[in-house]
Amino acid sequence: MKVIEISQLHKIYTKGVGKKIHALKGINLEVGSGEIFGFLGPNGAGKSTTIKLILNIIHPTSGKILLSGKDVRDPESRRNLGFLPENPIYYEYLTPEELLWFVGKTFNIEGENIKRKTDELLNLMGLENFRQVPLRYFSKGMIQKVGLIQTLVHDPDILILDEPTSGLDPIGRRQVTDLILSLKEKGKTIFFSSHILHDVETICDKVGIIAEGELRFSGKISEVLHQSVQGFEVVVQNVSDEIFKEILDKEINCHREGDTVRLTVLENDLWQLIEFIKSKNLSLFAVEPKRKTLEGLFLELIKNSKSSS
């Protein structure tokens, strides 16, 4: 089932007299039920504009967006949706407990259920001891955690998260990624933007890469990570200065760390290199295939975008 459907989405901003900015240029995108979709792109690429359009905060110049089959202009389409903005800002004298109570009442949840959900969510993010501390005393990372759990008070099936791990330390990032994975196990659909490619590569089923308002790639992470082998990294040890000079003379891409050398070769040159290693009685430590990574694809697409502009 398609939970998010975006068809031929255009957004043109008017700036000043007669000046227009084409922020989105015919975006087509689909996210299925229970999927984690990572939305990537450099600053100014159109990520936040796309999210605002999905939430009906702003309106498209042309195109259509459906949430669970309903047009986003229909308020009912967003009743089952939770949203975390990139920089959540809340009334600073509220406590987490009060904020979650306010959110719960906004969705007409009964008081006892709000209290139960508040206990569950604060414990989930390690904030149970800060439940009655005003938010003005919270760090950016703590505010980010509060922002995330407030999206879950009404138990939505669709989550739109704008930079959910921004400002978090490694432990906090792990808490958030574990939470996102646990939500997927419950059948939730998660659409999130991020600059942290490792997080996207680790937890996402699909990814979309946007640059200059155009969707440059959209597909399964496995399509990126399990492409054909592009080369091999060979690690050898016990390399003397004399042998290292021979390697350099062969003009092989290499990097030396003490008596260990890492060499990168194409598949056609691999066996010739191994024969050379055997002839020099070197210790062959590892041979690892090199595949295209998400980061490699991202940088390639952004580079191509800039060179063609």
229 pLDDT tier (thresholds 50, 70, 90): low
Q: Which residues contact 70 (CB under 8 A, 6 or more apart)?
A: 76, 77
CATH topology of domain 231-290: Alpha-Beta Plaits (3.30.70)
Question: d(Cα 173, Cα 152) in Å, to the nearest integer?
Answer: 17
pLDDT digits (tens, 9 = 90+) for 149-196: 999 999 999 999 998 988 888 888 888 899 999 999 999 999 999 888
**CA 111 from centre of chain:** 34
- What's the whole-number mean pLDDT along residues 88-116? 94
Instruction: Say yes or no: do domains 1-80+157-226+293-309 and 231-290 share a fold.
Output: no
- Using CA atoms, how far apart are residues 118 and 159, in angstroms rounded to an integer? 18
Alpha-carbon distance 252 to 264, whole Å?
A: 7
- Given the candidates 3.40.50.300, 3.30.420.40, 3.40.50.10860, 3.50.50.60, the CATH classification of the domain at 1-80+157-226+293-309 is 3.40.50.300
Domain ranges in the chain are: 1-80+157-226+293-309, 95-152, 231-290
> pLDDT tens, 44-71?
889 999 999 999 999 999 999 999 999 9
To the nearest whole number, what is the mean pLDDT of the chain? Answer: 88
Give the DSSP H or E segment for 20: strand 20-32
pLDDT recorded at residue 102: 95
Q: Residue 10: is its pLDDT beyond 60? A: yes
For the entire predicted model, the pTM comes to 0.76
Mean pLDDT of 266-295: 82
pLDDT in tens, 28-37: 999 999 999 9
